Structure 1
């Protein structure tokens, strides 16, 4: 309100209508909170259906992610077990059987050396895959199988717990939706609340809100004109822009909405001030280059200098300078003055050439 008053930002009637609309919307919100569906949600610690839906989606995402992780881990452990069992099979194929070992104990010579070489080959196959003995491989298989069973059990339990929680939330949602769908009459609590606020029905309240919204919309279509008779307080305006920007980030809905509205109007106000300043500069400049009277030109030159200094000085307030599109305006006028300087230079040269021509008696040297 202080910012609106300081800069006289909007029509007082529009401002009052907006305040009335905010009050009506608060009444509507209070009435909606008395709806059995809303009361039911609050009993389960949910302020609204958006909050409940958000928790349901969060649980679904968590459950899906947990299942994907579990499936990946189980797949990896199955792959590990297959590799370990493959190592065992390879070892068994290369190892001499118990019968072979018995025969090897009784025989000597070539057959004994063959069986011993077979055993050595089996041990070598283990070392090539990083195991010192077949017992180590078997222990690894036992550990992996135990880990697989534990993870499977934990994953199943986690999924069951998430499913129970999800089922409970979806049950709350179904009951809420049922209350919304089956109950069309306004409760006695809602009627009492509305009458306390001066409304005989919910429909009458809604009509008032729509009417206020329509009036504000129609007023908004008509471009608001601001009247500028003096320099703006650029420092205060810059601080106000920063303050309103921060207010738009707060959680309080009414504060956030009011700040956004005032912020938009203030930016429009500053933009129009920038256009006003630009028009004043243009008016003074065009007058100076079109008149012949020296006295009038001097006065307007002073006015032009004052307006240009004002435009330039606003660059010290970055947020205000951005709103008035100051950088573009300064560059445009810089180009305009350079072009006019070039034109004057050309005219001066023409005058000098003409004077030399007349002084020489109308003859020209080639």
Structure 2
């Protein structure tokens, strides 16, 4: 069954990504089955053409930017992809890929993350050791005090005193000793010795864990730094293009890497210069909200794919489309405000109900956006609707007060106020 990856079916993009990812895995078998390479390229090109066609349609539908700039940007994306493919053929890049890294930035981040992790985990263990040592010191102090109270008059070494204390029936100062132990949270001295034994086991375990962790971090860090060292060495020693790199450039119409890089720079400058003088949006028709909402969904799905060019174009298009929608929301709000002011003013020889009708259409448009939550949110639709409801209530109260004043004074302005009220009510 043929799967449709066009703009009409944004929910098919994850399926496309899954298919492309699985086909890419087959690349390791291409040296055994050469036909697989052609098959893989065919599937990838179909996916790229489908997404590019969708992005082109979004650009055309909403006229997000200057057409020349848009086309140059697409060309630039292709050139940047060629550059990435060229860099992948460098011996340093091939070495990294064999080690499981797509580029040096990932390797460098892993090294940095490992160092941070080492610092945090070792500090955690060292904190536990300090806490255990502090607890042990407290317990030893309890024993020292206990012995001192029990045998304050007995001479001899501390070891002899401790030995005598264990064998003693607490003949001396038993009341004071029991009170002291209770104050420290113990009922007898044996509990203190038992806790010391447990704490020492924990301390030894944590101390050994600290040494093991340090050794493991040293091994892991040396391995990563060895990979980085070899990669950096390959970068400096291979200054000329390989046969594979030259063939890739010639297939794409470039005689050297320098000519490819120059073309990228020229297109980048062109875009930068045109971006400086880009014109503001001009809205002549109502926003095609359904298409905008569908486009946002399609773009968000494309931003999740692994292919760099698709992801980059999706991100750029998403930024521009969201800005376009926000600008349209601002334009719609200004139009409502303009129609509201006209509807609240009497002009000679102008149908007073024309502006109220226009105002009604714009308000209906704003209200209809609620059916498309993503677009509605980008436009701050809830805030706008609530603000206009509040303004209408306030003006209604003001109008009622004015008509009441005109009635009391039998003022001729009453007719004008009634006309405004009728116009707003009909809207």
Q: Which TM-score band (shorter chain)?
A: 0.7 to 0.9
Deviations 1:142-171 (A, max 9, x none): 333333223212221221111111111122
Aligned-partner SS, 1:317: helix
Match of 1:171 among 226, 241, 244: 226
2:243 aligns with 188
CA distance, structure 2, for counterparts of residue 275 and residue 161 of structure 1: 58
Tell me by how many angstroms 1:188 deviates: 3.1
Q: Structure 1-normalised TM-score? A: 0.72
Q: Does structure 2 retain, via aligned residues, the 8 Å contact 1:91–1:122?
A: no
Q: Does structure 2 retain, via aligned residues, the 8 Å contact 1:285–1:304?
A: no
CA RMSD of aligned residues (A): 4.3
1:120 and 2:174 are equivalent in the alignment: yes
Match of 1:309 among 361, 364, 369: 361
Match of 1:35 among 90, 94, 100: 90
Q: Does structure 1 retain, via aligned residues, the 8 Å contact 2:122–2:213?
A: no
Q: Does structure 2 retain, via aligned residues, the 8 Å contact 1:248–1:256?
A: yes
Match of 1:61 among 112, 116, 124: 116
Q: Superposed, which structure 2 residues align to 1:282-321 within 5 Å?
A: 282=338, 292-293=348-349, 297-298=350-351, 301-302=353-354, 305-306=357-358, 308-318=360-370, 319-320=374-375
Q: Structure 2-normalised TM-score? A: 0.63
Tell me by how many angstroms 1:303 deviates: 6.3
Greater Rg by CA: 1
Q: 1:147 to 1:82 in 2, by over 3 A?
A: same
Aligned-partner SS, 1:200: coil
Match of 1:141 among 188, 196, 209: 196
Tell me by how many angstroms 1:195 deviates: 1.4
Aligned-partner SS, 2:172: helix
Tell me by how many angstroms 1:273 deviates: 4.9
Q: Superposed, which structure 2 residues align to 1:37-116 within 5 Å?
A: 37-93=92-148, 94-95=150-151
CA distance, structure 2, for counterparts of residue 287 and residue 73 of structure 1: 75
1:259 aligns with 314
Q: Does structure 1 retain, via aligned residues, the 8 Å contact 2:181–2:189?
A: no
* Bigger Cα displacement from structure 2, 122-131 vs 146-155: 122-131
Q: 1:337 to 1:260 in 2, by over 3 A?
A: farther
Q: 1:179 to 1:123 in 2, by over 3 A?
A: same
- Structure 1 unaligned regions, length at least 5: 100-114, 356-366
Aligned-partner SS, 2:287: coil
- Structure 2 unaligned regions, length at least 5: 1-53, 157-168, 414-427
Deviations 1:200-256 (A, max 9, x none): 111111111111222222332333466655433233324434554554455554333
Aligned-partner SS, 1:118: coil
CA distance, structure 2, for counterparts of residue 260 and residue 247 of structure 1: 8
